[in-house]
Amino acid sequence: MRVLGVDPGLTRCGVGVVEDGRAREVTCLAVGVVRTPAEDELSTRLMAVADTVEQWMHTHRPDVVAIERVFSQQNVRTVMGTAQVSGVVALAAARRSLPVAFHTPSAVKAAISGSGTANKKQVTAMITKILGLETAPKPADAADALALAVCHLWRAPMAGRLAEAEARAAELARHHRARLKEANRSRNSAGRAGGPPR
């Protein structure tokens, strides 16, 4: 599986592509940052991000796009910009019929470092080690994009198994309810056939 990870941001939007191999081995295919000038119009900045992300999708042909889920703990202006970039990236993926997965920052940190409270320096160090990179990806947005992609690679199989288990449990529950309904219907029919007691 090939994953395009995106750490959304208006000033710096991290992008990274990874591919899985045997025994949880992961290879970094590309990493970078889309930068937009703060003085530009919002629409121009969003278009610049969209154009670059679409070019990455065209060049690297990912199977899925993993985006960091937006949290409101940041200031409103930052959250709005991040959410707008997330929407632009999700739209670009949808136009190519690519599935999109959103992962929380704590889930990414936990998957990469084993701790949901790891700081950016720790995440960067771990992703550098996991991918066997000679130098750490910079800035942190680039490292975060790779971490998102790796997180998705490692979590996707488990998520798939959980979805299958939930679907199977729902099917069993429907079957059980149908049998109970049929049993109740049979008992009621038998009671009516017997007539009132004498």
Other beta carbons within 10 angstroms of residue 146's beta carbon come to 30
Which residue among the candidates 68, 134, 164, 182 is catalytic per the annotation? 68
Rounded to 10 deg, the angle between the 42-60 and 76-95 helix axes is 40
Angstrom distance (rounded) from CA 30 to CA 17:
5
Q: Residue 107: which of 144, 63, 53, 143 has the closest Cα?
A: 144
Angstrom distance (rounded) from CA 50 to CA 30:
17
Is residue 102 helix, strand or coil? Answer: strand
**Residue 51 assigned ligand-binding role:** no
68 is known as an active-site residue: yes
Angstrom distance (rounded) from CA 161 to CA 154:
12
63 is known as an active-site residue: no
**Residue 7 assigned ligand-binding role:** yes
Which residue among the candidates 7, 40, 51, 171 is catalytic per the annotation? 7
Pairing of strands 64-68, 26-35: unpaired
Angstrom distance (rounded) from CA 16 to CA 153:
13
Which residue among the candidates 19, 54, 141, 144 is catalytic per the annotation? 141
141 is known as an active-site residue: yes
**Residue 141 assigned ligand-binding role:** yes
The residues assigned a catalytic role are 7, 68, 141
Binding-site annotation, residues for Mg(2+): 7, 68, 141
Binding-site annotation, residues: 7, 68, 141
